[in-house]
Amino acid sequence: MSTVHPDVETVLFSEEEIAAIVQRLGDQITQDYQGKDLVLIAVLRGAVVFMGDLMRAIKTPLSIDFMAVSSYGDKAKSSGIVRIVKDLDMDIKGRDVLIVEDILDSGLTLKYLMKNLSSRHPASLEVATFLWKDIEGKQAAIDPKYVGTHCPDAFVVGYGLDFAERYRNLPYVGILKPEVYS
Ligand code: PRP
Ligand code: MN
Ligand code: MG
């Protein structure tokens, strides 16, 4: 593998491991959505990298749209408040919606999105998250249908995930060195 960013302590998932995970999810989704009216909704900005890979791994017709919500900003801790920064351009009524997320952490973002999007009466509504963080504290009761992999309760960056808007372009998922954020 090429050199690891100096701010990264450990690589959790390599580029190759990520590709295998996305391939598996793409195959599952392809099977499950045969003949359906699939709409992938990526949550900006963290999910864009996963979205780009996942949509190409799905071999059934689909549409894409984007939503921007914010709960973290530059802070390491969630404010607990989720707000819509950019809404969908598409009407999802009667369509088969799959929310695409990079990570399920406290679950607040997905809890809010599930509630908000279900009120628009899609035919179905599911979640595909690349990472599911195993956290110490409380996590909202979210049951994602598609999970890439679980990850430890650490500051993870790369593959779309940022710290203060940096590191999103790392092709792997790594744990940030504590001295970078403390
Ligand atoms: C991050 C991440 C998820 C969310 C998960 O987004 O991309 O969307 O937090 O956390 P939660 O489960 O505790 O809600 P963030 O709000 O940092 O915005 P970003 O995607 O632009 O980085
Ligand atoms: Mn996000
Ligand atoms: Mg973020």
| Tokens describing residue 122 | 């899609």
| CATH number of the CATH domain containing 137 | 3.40.50.2020
Kindly indicate whether the ipTM for this predicted assembly is greater than 0.90, answering yes or no. Answer: yes
Residue nearest (by alpha carbon) to ligand 1 atom 15:
72
Strands (E) across the chain are located at 8-13, 38-44, 62-70, 83-86, 96-104, 124-133, 146-151, 156-157, 173-176
Could you tell me the residue range of the domain that residue 127 belongs to?
15-151
pLDDT tens profile 21-35: 999 999 999 999 999
Q: What is the pLDDT of residue 77?
A: 57
Does residue 36 sit within a domain? yes
Q: From the alpha carbon of 71, which atom of ligand 1 is closest?
A: 16
Any domain includes 10: no
The pLDDT of residue 74 is above 60 = no
Question: Of the candidates 120, 159, 124, which has an alpha carbon nearest to the alpha carbon of residue 145?
Answer: 124
Q: Which residues have C-beta atoms less than 6 Å from ligand 1?
A: 43, 45-46, 70-72, 78, 101-109, 162
Averaged pLDDT for residues 74-88: 76
Does any domain span residue 167?
no
Dump pLDDT digits (tens) for 135-181: 988 999 999 999 999 999 999 999 999 999 999 999 999 999 999 99
Q: What is the pLDDT of residues 57-70, one digit of tens each?
A: 999 999 999 999 98
**Is residue 32 one of the residues assigned to a domain?**
yes
158 within a domain of the structure (yes/no): no
Active site residue 105: yes
In terms of Cβ atoms closer than 10 Å to its own Cβ (0-12, 13-18, 19+), residue 64 is middle
How many domains would you assign to the chain?
Answer: 1
**Mind listing the pLDDT tens digit for each residue in 104-136?**
999 999 999 999 999 999 999 999 999 999 998
pLDDT at 79: 64
